[in-house]
Each structure stands twice: as structure tokens, then as C-alpha cells.
Amino acid sequence: MAVPAALSWLVAASATALLTVGLRRRTGPHRPALVLLGVAAGIALVGLVSGLGAALAAVPHWAQEQGQRTGWTVVVSVATAASGLIFLVGLFRLPGVMTSPVVTLRLVLDGLMMAAAVWFVGWVLVSEPTRLLGDATPTGHAPVLIATAAAALTAGIGPVAVCRGVATRGPLAVLAAAIATVTAGGLGVAVGLAQSGQGMVLTGAGLSSVGLLAVALSALRVDPRGRVESDGTDRSGENGFIPMFAMTVSATYHLAQGGRFTPLTVGVCAVEGFALVARQYLAMRDVRAYAERLAEREAHFRELAHTDALTGLANRRGLLRAVHHRVAAGDPCVLLGLDLDGFKHVNDMRGHDVGDAVLAEVGRRLRETLGPGDVAARLGGDEFAILLSGRPEEADRVAERLLAVLGRAYEQTAGPLFLSVSIGVAGWDGEPDVELLLRHADLALRYAKQRGKSRIERYDVAYDQLLRRRTTLEHELRGAIERDELRLVFQPVASLPSVRPVGAEALLRWRHPELGNVRPDEFIPLAEECGMIAKLGAWVLNEACHQLSRWLAGGHDVWVSVNVSPRELHDPEYVVLVADALRLHGVPPQRLVLEVTEHAVATDLDELIRRLTALRRTGVRIALDDFGAGYSSLGQLRRLPIDILKIDHGLVAEHEPVRPEGRDGPAFAPMVDIVMRLGHQLGLEVIAEGVTTPTELAAVVAAGCRFGQGALCGWGVPAEHLEVMLEAATSPGARPAGASSGARSPGHAGGGVDAGARPPMPPPSRLPQRASGQLTPGVAGAPRTDSPTPVNQHVGSVDSSREMRQA
């Protein structure tokens, strides 16, 4: 017996020494747990050495040394119980096992239920009448019960703690099994000393020594950084069902064999029931807490679903919810729709980060400005809405305050930003209708932006009519070309002062079979917005070239101008489109004039110059329409590759004609005179638009303008009517209309000359001369002739540049 005992002692001592040495080298959060494990291993080693020593001493007189062995049984049992409990505390102190006090309490209760079931099943197996150990069963030894309780606790709590923890389970599982082995070995030593004999002592010692070695090796391998996904599901039902089922089966078997229960077993059953009830109470409390957290999170996410993340205001869902609440309560309310004017330029010029900061500042200002019962919402982008209590009259004051508040500077790192806001106001109209209220506010907002922005507009029923008509027009316009509903009219451009037609401007007209005549200022902007302007422009270009080719083939000396939208002008394929139209209809390029509005100059000037230059290379002439409307500067005018200036009607009719100072002569239009001199210095021909009265005609003629366009020269007429006018103007009996009008200005070159049918075309050599800084002298200083050039000549012999120089 001495050799196995010495071997067991040597292994146990080595394991304890290994654990102690490893403890000194370890630092970190798991060091306290390793200290506890080392203390427990030392106590277990003391119990093991005491048990082996007592067994070796009692070998010669085993039966006679019962009393001495009983004393050593108490020592071994106490040491086994103490080491087992300290082992469990050390196991719980390892990182990842005890995550919170509540979790630890649940683990202890689960382990207690398992331990009670293990003890009860063991008691049934070793007690009467089963007596699995036979005569070796210890009876009447109370200290052994302490060791059995420790063994049951380590066998029940350890595995549960490992399975429910979040630390790496491999080393922890080995550690828990080793702890259970150590306590089981200590129990074996105690039982052997008490009654079973030397074989049981040696078996228990072997188990204890192997268990201590496993404890040392597994404890030193535990990595506090290792983690596994924890199972948040409460498995108290499983933890309670298994031990209760085992105890029920054992108790049934025990009663069936005629056994009886002692007060101790009844107490163990009571512990099992108490632990089960406590565990279920904790489970119910956890379920209640989880339900409360779930309700809070649901409310939080519901609020997030109704809140704009950037500004903290309500979003569209939140606004709809607030409106529905007002409708349900029957409270009168007003909805304001807000849109920041020019916010797109902030994102383009300063970046989206600055744009987001501006939107957040708008949200803050709205919260500070509005009352506690008002709801501010961001609908998306730079569009906001405000739900106010009260009537539209009361909301007007709030809207005025918002115009001022949101119009203040937005301080940014790169410098302050200034924005304006357009506001649409809508209230209940009859029965409350949420969707109708939103629609009315949106219509009022759109109308406010259309009327110039930075203003407040209240909803009017006429907006609905405008929207319905706009929708109808957009739908019908898409098929207008295919249904042959479009036509061209031609407004004459006349030579002055004879008012003889020498050219025409092609104007688009739309006659719908149900809507009637649709105004160009109504469907042209609509075509630009819905992307149909390119299709309409191509149709106008082809129709105008077709009609021009017919006139030229008929011997009429005439030219035609076509308006070009900025979107068409920036289309890379537009130059090809123009060239194809000229080639298809056999029109000399110099007979086609493309009119570009002065508003197009407000776009990218360099890109505009490149487009116009490409068009002029095809041979067509470029006219700058509406000159004087406020966009062009003199520097831009000098750079633009244009041939003709068309003076805006506002310059023609803005001032009363004045008489020249210091000399006799008819009154002239001063602004027209300035533009004429400027155009002549730049080598450009000038056409006065909007000539409506004889007084205006006399003034522009006196200023030196040779071509005019307006009501006095003729409205837009169909092609066949203009052809009649051309034939009448070139008939042998035709006499200049202004021959006797006296509208001649000797002091202004060309004032008394009838330009006849000469198209207003500058010399083709003008562009390269301007590029070199040398301007072609204007027509104001050119020699004059009083005999008009015949217009009935072959198209191929027409040289517009030569005719202008002759004029």
C-alpha cells in the first residue's frame, strides 16, 4: 500500500507545486481566480496526505483503530468540503463565467438543483434496501455526509457554470471535471477511512491526485481573452426538469423496493423544491424585465421611424401621425410647407457636409421658433413642413417670422451662407382630410416658388385647376407632333423705314382639338421641364428649313430665324442636327439664323462660346435675342461669337424719344441709339424688337436701326400669308411704306435708307478679325444707295454679306 500511496502523494504535490509556480508568473484579471484554485489545491493536498497517513498508520491494526480512523475521517471530509467550495468560488471568479450577480445567482440555483438530485440519487443507491456498496456502505458517520455534499455540489454546479458562461469552454470544461474528480477522490478517502477499507482509500487518493494534476494544467491554460457567443435564452425549464425527473424516478424506485425516507432526504427534497421555485421566480422576473426592455426598444425604434436622423425633427411618418391625431381630436390646424431656395448650390459649392450642417441648423431654428404644441418635420432634402394649431390667419404671422429666422446667415467655417425660404400655407377646407391637406400645402409651396421664391402663398382653389391643366398639357403635348397639332407661324422682320418684310422668325403654335389654342408661354416652359423641348426644337428646325427652302425656290430673298433653348444648345448632337436639316432641305446656311436668348448667357459662358462657335462653323448666323434684359455684360458681348443683336422691347418702349442737341432732326430712341453704336463698333447687325407704334418706328429709324420686328411690322402669320406679303413687297407697283412718313434722319447714317430685302448679315470675315482684336467697321459708316436691290434673283446668287455692305 505504501507505494501507491507515495505515488499518489507525489503526483498531488507536484500538481500543487506546478499550480503555485504558474500562479506567480500570471497577472491580469484571472489572477484572483488562480489564487483561489491554488488555495483549494493546497487544502485538498492536506486532506489527501492526512488520509493516506492515517490509512498507512492503521494498516497493522485496521479493525482496532476504528476510533482513530474516525477522527481522521472528519479531517479528510472537512478538507474535501472546504477545497470543493473554494474550487467552485475560484471557478466562478474566472473571467467569462460570472458575468453579473444575477447570472451568478441563477447558476448557483441551477447547480444546487443538480447537486441535490445527484445526492438524492446517490443516497437511494447506497441506502437500504438497494445498498449498491453492500457491506462497505458507511453507516453512522456524519462527517462523510459533509464530503458527499461537497462532491454533489461540485458535480452539479461546475458543469452548469461552464455551459452557461461566455468564456472559452474547452479548458473550463476540463477544469470543472477535474474539480469534481478531486472532491470525489476526497470522498472516497473519507469513506475508505470510515468503513470501506484500504482499497477505497487508495482509489480515492488516485482520483484526487489525478484531479489535482488536471486542475493545475487546465487552470494555467485558461485564456481570459477567449470568448464564445453566449446563449441569452433562459433554460431554467431544462435545468429544472432533468433533476426533478431523476429524483422522481429514484424516489419511485426506492418506495417500490420498500425503502423509507429519512428527515435528511426530506430536507434535500425541500432544498430542491426551494431552489426550483427561486429559479422560476428569477426566470419570471427576467421575462418581465425583458418584456419591459422590449417595449422600450419598440417605442424607441417607433420613435426613430418617425424622426429625421439629421435634424431631430419628425419625418413624413411623424408628420402624418401628428396630423391624424389632430383629426381624431377635432382640433383645427394649419400646415405650412417650406422649401429652402438655392440649397442645391450649397451642396454643389460647399459640399454635402456643409449642406447637412445647414439642414441641422434649420431644424434647430424651427424648434426654437415654434410653440410647444407645434410639430416641425423634415420631409426630405431641403423640404420641411410645420403643423400649427389654429387658423390660416394666425399661421401667417408664424410664416412671416419663419421668413426672417430662416433668412439669417448660416455661419460656416468657409464663410457665412445666406438662404431664403418659400412657404405655402394650407388649412382645412370643409371636412378634415389628411391627404388633401398635404396636397394643398404642396401646391401652395410650388406656387410660391413659381412666383419668385422667398414669399408666402396661401392655398387657393385655382391652384388645383392650374395643376390639372398642367398635367393634361404635359400628357397631350407628348403626342402633339404625331397627331399633327403643331404648326409654325412666321413673324416678319422688316427693313426700315419701308416696313418691307425681308425675313421672318419661326414661332411654334399648338392647337388642341379640345383645349383649343395653347399659349406658347404655357407649353414651352412645360416642354423644358418635362424634357420634350429637344423633340419640339428638332421639329421646328426641320419645318422652318422646309418652308425656307420653298420660299427660296420660289425666288423670294428671305431668311428665317429659329429660337434655340439652352438645353438644345448644350446638346452635343445639336450641331449635327442643324447640319443635317440644312443638307436635307437644301438651304444655304447663311439663310438660317439661330436665336439664343440672353438668359442663356447666365450659364457657363465658356461652354456657350464653344457651342456657338461650332454652330457658326456650319455657316449659320447667331442672333442674341432679348438683348438688354439684364444678363449680358459688355465683356461677355465682346467674347460671344454672334452676328446679330435683337434689342429687347423694353429698351425700345422704355423711354420717350429725344431730339438731338445742337442740331435739327427727328426724335430718336436713346437706348436704341446706344445699342446701335455698340453693335456697329462690334461689327454686329441690330434688329429692334417690339416696334408697335409709329412713334417707336420713327424713333428707332432715327437712331439708325435698319431692321425691326413687332406688331407694326406684322404679327405671326401662317407661311402662305407671309408668302403673299413677300410677293406684294416685291411686286413692280410696290412703294416703300415709309417714303412719305418723313422718318428720315440725315444725322444718322442709314436713317432714310430702305434696306429692302437685304438680310441682316455681317461679313463672314468678322469672327477672325475680332479674334485678332480688329473690328470690322459697322454699317453706320458705310456708303449708301437709294436704289433698293431687286429681290427676285436666283438663290445661288444671293450674298447676304455683300448686300449688307451695300446697305
Q: How far apart are CA 798 and CA 272, in angstroms?
A: 118
Percentage helix, strand, coil for the chain under 3-state DSSP, each rounded to 5 = 60, 10, 30
Average pLDDT, the chain: 79
708 contacts 496 by C-beta, under 8 angstroms = yes
The DSSP letter of residue 686 is E
Residue 196: DSSP 8-state: I
- Grid coordinates given for 611: 457651342
**Closest among 92, 98, 103, 159 to 279, alpha carbons compared:** 103
Q: Is residue 556 packed enough to be buried (19+ CB in 10 Å), middle (13-18) or exposed (0-12)?
A: buried
pLDDT for 32 beyond 90? no
Cβ neighbours of residue 90 closer than 8 Å, sequence gap 6 or more: 33, 34, 35, 36, 37, 39, 40
Share of the chain above pLDDT 70, in %: 78
Contact 92, 98 (CB under 8 A): yes
- Give the best-scoring range by mean pLDDT among 181-185, 646-650, 715-719: 715-719
- Cell numbers 456524519 correspond to 142
| pLDDT for the residue numbered 612 | 92
Quick check: 655 pLDDT over 80? no
Phi, psi at 507, each rounded to 5° = -120, 135
**pLDDT at 734 > cutoff 60:** no
User: Does residue 615 contact residue 587 with C-beta atoms inside 8 Å?
Assistant: no
φ and ψ at 248, to 5 degrees?
A: -65, -45
CA nearest to 73, candidates 182, 191, 183: 191
Amino acid at 321: R
Cβ(492)–Cβ(501) under 8 Å? Answer: yes
Beta bridge partners of 493: 503
Question: What is the model's pTM?
Answer: 0.55
Quickly state the pLDDT bin for 742 (edges 50, 70, 90): very low
Instruction: List the one residue out of 445, 443, 441 whose CA is nearest residue 433.
Output: 441
Cβ contacts of 486 within 8 Å, gap of 6 or more: 480, 508, 509, 510, 536, 539
Provide the pLDDT for residue 228.
42
Per-residue pLDDT tens over the stretch 79-120: 888 888 888 888 878 776 766 777 777 777 877 787 888 888
Identify any residues that bridge with 563 across adjacent strands, giving them in sequence order.
595
pLDDT for 493 beyond 60: yes
| Contact between residue 445 and residue 424 where contact means Cβ atoms under 8 Å apart | yes
Locate the domains of the chain by residue range: 2-100+127-229, 316-459, 477-806
Measure the CA–CA gap between 115 and 152, rounded to whole angstroms. Answer: 5
Going by pLDDT thresholds of 50, 70 and 90, the confidence category of residue 780 is: very low
What own/partner pairs with CB < 8 Å and gap ≥ 24 does 282-287 have?
Answer: 282/102, 282/105, 282/106, 282/109, 282/236, 283/234, 283/236, 286/102, 286/234, 287/234
Q: What is the pLDDT of residue 429?
A: 63
Residue 273's CB is within 10 A of a number of other CB atoms, namely 14
Q: Give, in order, the Cα–Cα distances in Å from 452 to each of 12, 26, 208, 400, 420.
A: 95, 77, 94, 16, 11
pLDDT > 60? residue 374: yes
pLDDT tens readout for residues 63-76: 555 556 677 888 88
Residue 798 has pLDDT above 60, yes or no: no
Rounded to whole angstroms, the Cα distance separating 649 from 669 reads: 12
pLDDT score of 787 = 33
**Kind and range of the H or E run holding 531:** none
Q: Which three cell numbers stand for residue 327?
A: 383629426
Instruction: Assess contact for 86 and 215: CB atoms under 8 A.
Output: no
pLDDT at 778 over 50: no
Confidence category of residue 527, pLDDT binned at 50, 70, 90 = very high
Give yes or no for residue 706 having a pLDDT over 70.
Answer: yes
Segment holding 182, helix H or strand E: helix 169-191
pLDDT digits (tens, 9 = 90+) for 294-350: 888 888 888 888 888 899 999 999 999 998 888 888 788 899 999 999 888 888 888
> Is residue 578 very low, low, confident or very high in pLDDT (cuts 50, 70, 90)?
very high
Give the type of residue at 184.
A
- Give the whole-angstrom CA distance, residue 683 versus residue 644: 9
The DSSP symbol for 487 reads E
Confidence of residue 772 (pLDDT cuts 50, 70, 90): very low
CATH level 2 (architecture), domain 316-459: 2-Layer Sandwich (3.30)
Under 8 Å between Cβ of 628 and 648: yes
Report d(CA 321, CA 327) in Å as an integer: 10
For residues 662 and 387, the model is more confident at 387
- The percentage of the chain sitting over the pLDDT mark of 90, rounded to a whole number, equals 25
pLDDT at 481 over 90: yes
What is the distance between the alpha carbons of residues 761 and 82, in angstroms, rounded to a whole number? 116
Confidence (pLDDT) at 233: 46
Give the chain's radius of gyration (CA, Å): 52
Neighbours of 402 (CB within 10 A): 23
Task: Give how far Cα 72 sits from Cα of 189, 198, 719, Å.
Answer: 10, 14, 131
Distance, in Å, from the CA atom of 522 to the CA atom of 446, rounded to the nearest integer, reads 16
Residue 588 has pLDDT above 80, yes or no: yes
Q: Report the alpha-carbon distance of residue 378 to residue 758 in Å, rounded.
A: 61
| pLDDT given for residue 562 in this prediction | 96
CA distance 20 to 4: 24
Beta strand segments in 451-577, E: 456-458, 486-495, 500-512, 516-518, 559-564
Cα 727 to Cα 366, 492, 721, distances in angstroms? 69, 13, 10
The answer to whether the 316-459 and 477-806 domains have the same CATH topology is no
Peptide bond into 138 cis (omega under 30): no
The whole-number pLDDT of residue 413 equals: 85
Beta bridge partners of 334: 388, 427
For residue 434, how many other CB atoms are within 10 A of its CB?
14
Q: How far does Cα 785 stand from its chain's mean position?
A: 70
Q: At what angle do helices 142-164 and 66-93 cross, to 10 degrees?
A: 20
Q: Name residue 666's amino acid.
A: P
pLDDT at 110 (0 to 100): 78
- Enter the C-alpha cell of residue 157: 454546479
**Residue owning grid cell 434689342:** 647
Write down the CATH superfamily of domain 477-806.
EAL domain (3.20.20.450)
Q: What is the pLDDT of residues 746-769, one digit of tens each?
A: 333 333 334 444 445 443 333 333
Best-predicted range by mean pLDDT (203-207, 339-343, 396-400, 619-623): 619-623
Could you tell me which residues are beta bridge partners of residue 632?
Answer: none
Confidence bin at 240 (pLDDT 50/70/90) = low
Predicted local confidence at residue 804, as pLDDT: 32
Return the number of other C-beta atoms located less than 10 Å from residue 452's C-beta.
9
- Cis check for the bond before 497: say yes or no (omega within 30 of 0): yes
In angstroms, the CA 753 to CA 783 distance is 11
137: helix, strand or coil: coil
Per-residue pLDDT at 584 exceeds 90: yes
Confidence of residue 788 (pLDDT cuts 50, 70, 90): very low
Instruction: Please check whether residue 729 is in contact with residue 698, taking contact to mean a CB–CB distance below 8 angstroms.
Output: no
pLDDT, tens digit, 9 for 90 and up, residues 335-359:
999 999 988 888 888 888 999 999 9
Q: Which amino acid is present at 775?
A: L
pLDDT of 556 > 60? The answer is yes
Q: Please give the residue that has the higher pLDDT: either 5 or 558.
A: 558
- pLDDT band for 138, please (50, 70, 90 cuts): low
Give the span between the Cα atoms of 789 and 588, in whole angstroms. Answer: 20
Q: Which residues pair with 596 in a beta bridge?
A: 564, 624
